[in-house]
Structures are given as C-alpha cells and as structure tokens.
Amino acid sequence: MLNKYARAFFTRVLTPFAAFLIRRGVSPDTVTLLGTAGVMAGALVFYPRGEFFWGTVVITLFVFSDLVDGNMARQLGRSSRWGAFLDSTLDRVADGAIFGGFALWYAGQGHDNTLCAVSIFCLASGQVVSYTKARGEAIGLPVAVNGLVERAERLVISLVAAGFAGLHKFGVPGIQYLLPVALWIVAAGSLVTLIQRVVTVRRESAEADAEAARQENQGSGASA
C-alpha cells in the first residue's frame, strides 16, 4: 500500500528538486551514494547512543534519495540495469545500518538482549524477504504477492516509532516504549511476509514445472 500510494505522492513532490539537481550537474548515482551514506551516519552515529529523535531526523532527510535518484534517471532518460542494481544493493545496506543501530543500542546502553535479538531478526529477515523475491524472479517466476510488511512498511513503522521514542529525552513520559513495540511488529510482519513469499514461490515453481512437463509431453506426442 505504501509502495503504491506514498511513492507516487512523494515522486510528484520531489520532481522539482530532482530537476534542480540535474541542472546542477549532479548524477543519479551520486544521489544514491550520498543518500545511503547519510542514512548510515544517522543510524550508526545517533542510534547506538540512544539519540533516536535526531537520528531519525537525519535519516529522514536522506532516505528520500531513494525516490530522487530514480526520478532523476527518468527525467534524463538514463534508466539502466546498473542504476537499478546500485539502488537496490545500497537499500539493503541502509536497512542494515538502521536495524544495526537499534541492535547496538540494546546490546550496549539499552541493556536489553531480547530487543537486541529482535532488532537483529528485523535486519536479517528484511534482507531475506528481499532475497526471496529477487531469487524467485531470477529463476523466471513472477513472485506475484504483496507481502504484509515490505521495505516501505518496515521503514515507516521503525522510523516513526524511533522518532517519537526519542522525545522521551525531551521529557515526554512513557513514549520510549513505542520503539520496542514497533520492532516486535516489524519482526512479526517480516516473518509473515517471508512465509507468504516462500509459499508463493513454491506454488509458482510447481505450476511452472507442471506446464513445462505438459509442453514436453505434447512435443513428444507430436513427434511420435
């Protein structure tokens, strides 16, 4: 849902900014690299120290590069396999930094090994969820399923919760519990999404194998 509607909205909003960068001679790949570096800095500098509000502010400023670089490529007519590969690869790096930052906080000053493990599970499951779709498509399957919690949902739930949880340092009582709740939600949703994709790939692969066998049998019958 977020991928469909939010991306369309922010693409329209960010189009003038993308055009401005093009006029200044900035390349889409540069935006991709700088955006990932900014997200990593926000996550790995602020989150391990418990500075969730400011970390989320920094990450939010850079996370929209994922939309800006694609918008620039389309305006330039330069959409390429390399650009898609770089963008997708660095998305995984950015996601790992965000949940890695949470894990470092809970392993250190946060003093909560359970939530550290949940953060690591969110990190790992997010990577595997992406891999299942990429691997399924690589073997020729459509992987036609909209998962319960995909990348956009993982980021929105986690970052919004982290940003609000950071207000605890400004004197807002009890709000720090939003982040643990969000991490459990993302972990559970990612697990469901992973199961959805695995089941879908299993079904599609069985259908593809059955169709291939049927065509082979028809070919054998025709030649006979």
Q: Residue 184: how many CA atoms within 13 Å on its side-chain side?
A: 7
pLDDT category at 63 given cuts 50, 70, 90 is confident
Comparison of pLDDT for 15 and 185, the residue scoring more: 185
Catalytic residue among 91, 95, 112, 209: 91
> Is 70 labelled as part of a ligand binding site?
yes
Backbone angles phi and psi of 69, in degrees to 5: -65, -40
3 state SS of 173: coil
One-letter-per-residue 3-state SS of 56-114: HHHHHHHHCHHHHHHHHHHHHCCCCHHHHHHHHHHHHHHHHHHHHHHHHHHHCCCCCHH
Give yes or no for residue 72 having a pLDDT over 60: yes
> Is 66 labelled as part of a ligand binding site?
yes
Measured CA to CA in angstroms, residue 189 lies from 5, 91, 125, 194 at distances of 20, 19, 10, 9
> Is 91 labelled as part of a ligand binding site?
yes
Query: Is there a catalytic annotation at residue 209?
Result: no
Q: CA–CA separation, 158 vs 183, rounded Å?
A: 7
> Is 69 labelled as part of a ligand binding site?
yes
Comparison of pLDDT for 220 and 47, the residue scoring more: 47
Provide the token pair at 86: 């770089």
